[in-house]
Amino acid sequence: MPVEAVYQTVSEELSNLSPCPLPLLGKREKILKRGALPLLDTPFGVRIEMRQAIYNKLKKVAGQKQLITYKELAAVVGLDWNKDYGKCWQIFSILRDICTAEVEQGHPMLAAIAVRQDTKMPGAGFFALARKLGRYQSGTDYSFWLAERDAVWNFWSSQQLGG
């Protein structure tokens, strides 16, 4: 199937979804220039559904001023962290996409509330992305994370209140 036809099918599917920031989908020319969509090893439509489910769960948890583990996020999309770890890496890619889109909209990094089970903090990839996006320029990982987590909680709790 030509890339243009795949893009048209995806565009039609997206029109039926509630808004979730999808930075890769908004840049059609860049996608087409590469000659391929970012499919990973999951069918594109399934990846969109995974992204939407994770985005919705993150917004809900953030509005409640709570944290969620990567293992719990895996369960949201039907993956068992202990059995499907090879597929669970996609969660990190989705979190990166969501954070990138949120920062582009002037929002804090929503994945600040997604944490490792053992440390109750995000993993190293979160901090690397924060540096790349210009959100984290100085201080310690812990102090940056606390500030970003609080910004996420404040933003999304006010959104749920109609703010």
Q: In the chain, what are the domain boundaries? A: 40-160
Q: Is the pLDDT confidence value at 39 over 50?
A: no
- Sort 77 into a burial class: Cβ within 10 Å, 0-12 / 13-18 / 19+: buried
What is the C-alpha to C-alpha distance for residues 38 and 33, in angstroms, rounded to an integer? 12
Measured CA angle at 103 (ends 162, 63), to 5 deg: 35
Average pLDDT of the residues in 81-99: 82
Share of the chain above pLDDT 90, in %: 52
- Sort 118 into a burial class: Cβ within 10 Å, 0-12 / 13-18 / 19+: exposed
Task: Tell me the pLDDT of the chain averaged across its residues.
Answer: 77
Per-residue model confidence (pLDDT) at position 146: 97
Average pLDDT of the residues in 143-162: 90
Average pLDDT of the residues in 38-46: 47
Per-residue model confidence (pLDDT) at position 111: 96
